[in-house]
Amino acid sequence: MIEFEPKTVVFAFGLTLFAGLATGIGSALAFFAKRTNTKFLSVALGFSAGVMIYVSMIEIFFKAKIALCEQWGDRWGYWATTAAFFVGIGIIGLIDKLVPSYENPHEIHEAKEMTQPGNAPEFNKLHRMGLFAALAIGIHNFPEGLATFAAALKDPHLGIAIAVAIAIHNIPEGIAVSIPIYYATGSRRKAFLYSFLSGVSEPIGALIGFFVLWHFMNNVTFGLLFAGVAGIMVYISLDELLPSAEKYGRHHLCIYGLISGMAVMAISLLLFV
């Protein structure tokens, strides 16, 4: 069993809390939707996708492979890493499948869909949509919290990069919760509260995952967990971040953000070699 220093655990939890509560930033931005810079949002989402894809494929998958190959040899260690990677994709894909499309935060909806009188459902339906979005985001944030927490335990610098990337992608999720709640109730407080609570599931996921896996923490557990985390992050990037970046801005802005995210992640990793 791997032992962790208390300060490392506290630091990892703090990063997870930061990433999860970024939904509150999205909630605050939603109150000024008409002034939101969608081009900047497009670049930011592309940047987040670039960070997550690069770090997943270059760093996390690689570290998982090393850990598992040390335990099971090159052949079976590589097989196990690859299998865990696709299991991670399957888990987050199944969650997406079980959540109705309109309440799913991974399905793209523009603010005007929910705020323009001609397009909006009745207020009670808007309220229901906001509540379902909060629940759906809470479900999605659970494995993301475990991913951030596990990465920070293994490598604090890697944890910081993942936390920032997930925080960026949580901002539009906060918007998805707060806009329908706000327009249904007229209460900024309620809109912010539901958005805030949806993000709390991220640190909760980290804590539950940590205590459940505490007695099983070894190189094999970390290897399988890291490979699964890599799959989850790649799926989120391809299914949510890049389509959202395209939706909010122009194609090239999304790609510029993507490449910039990869470059920044690459440089940050090189600095700690």
pLDDT, one tens digit per residue, over 75-93 is: 999 999 999 999 999 988 8
pLDDT of res. 186: 75
C-alpha–C-alpha distance, residues 165 and 158, integer Å:
11
Q: Where are the domains of the chain?
A: 6-270
pLDDT of res. 117: 39
Q: Give me the chain's average pLDDT, please.
A: 77
Tell whether the model's pLDDT for residue 224 goes beyond 70: yes
Is the backbone of residue 73 left (phi > 0), alpha (psi -120 to 50) or beta? left
At 172, list the tokens.
Answer: 């539009």
pLDDT of res. 136: 62
pLDDT tier for residue 61 given thresholds of 50, 70 and 90: very high
C-alpha–C-alpha distance, residues 127 and 81, integer Å:
42
The predicted model scores a pTM of: 0.69
pLDDT tier for residue 111 given thresholds of 50, 70 and 90: very low
What is the arithmetic mean of pLDDT over 102-118? 47
Hey, what amino acid is at 88?
G
What is the arithmetic mean of pLDDT over 96-110? 56
> 64 near 224, Cβ under 8 Å?
yes
Which position has the higher pLDDT, 70 or 199?
Answer: 70
One DSSP character per residue, 55-109 reads IIIIIIHHHHHHHHHHHHHHHHHHHHHHHHHHHHHHHHHHHHHHS-GGG-TTS--
Tell whether the model's pLDDT for residue 54 goes beyond 70: yes
What is the arithmetic mean of pLDDT over 154-174? 80
100-104, 121-125, 206-210, 268-272: range with highest mean pLDDT: 206-210
Encode pLDDT of 1-25 as tens digits: 556 677 888 898 899 989 888 888 8
